[in-house]
Amino acid sequence: MRDATKAPGGLLRQTWWRARDYAAVLAWQASGLVSRVDPETLRRPENPVGPPVVLVPGVYESWHFLLPLATLLHGHGVRVHVLPDLGTNRRPVLRGASVLGRYLAAHDLRDVVVVAHSKGGLIGKLAMLREDPDGRTASMIAVNTPFAGSSYARWFVTPAVRAFIPSDATIVALDAERTVNHRITSVYSWWDPHIPAGSSLDGATEVVLDTPGHFRPLADPRLHELLLLRIVGPQLRGS
């Protein structure tokens, strides 16, 4: 994984990539604010296909932020579950994992595929380790997750971001625990301005996307193809 500070093209190109990344954030956040999509509707597609999916957003992201992925999957018959109780996901990873674990049990979900963005991948991994005693989660696809933290987190004063400092106890413990890594697919951009060391995870399946950024890779066609292939199956991938 390349260091984000050493991307080709220099400062001008990196600035352009950042601008496009944050423009995408603003657009998705605004779309989520005016969305009238009911989580109940997402859970009940007309002709259900494949295992249930639970979406776990990143820090400062509500479930609406992943609505484009929810819509994509639901449109192909996937039962999509979201976690309104996470709010904007500013609480500790341990709390988020507890929310996820309780949701799985409350809805009696089985063979679940967790699809997560950024911090959501840390929540998903911790839930697989400690909050899923019945083995309800089959696998996780995590997009741009700081599995080893981010050195940039030291620059911030807010606890929600400082939780990603590489020496944070939760980050260190999760990085050391590898028993579920083989059930995780880490999908990440070749250039992520938020995670300079990248999202590599020992023992996991790794997929590197061409779209630069921390957020825009959520719209990368290769990610969408991967999700449909893994969750729906090849017969509906192009439908």
> Cα(66)–Cα(51) distance, rounded to whole angstroms?
18
| Three-state SS annotation for 20-63 | HHHHHHHHHHHHHHHCCCCHHHHHCCCCCCCCCEEEECCCCCCH
Q: According to the model, what pLDDT value does residue 9 have? A: 60
Confidence of residue 237 (pLDDT cuts 50, 70, 90): very low
d(CA 91, CA 231): 29
Residue 36 is predicted with a pLDDT of 83
pLDDT at 236 over 70: no
| pLDDT tens, residue by residue, 12-29 | 888 888 899 999 888 888
Domains of the chain: 14-232 (3.40.50.1820)
Q: Average pLDDT of 136-153?
A: 98
pTM listed for this prediction: 0.93
Record the tokens describing residue 167, joined without a space: 């020496």
CA 57 – CA 115 distance, rounded (Å): 9
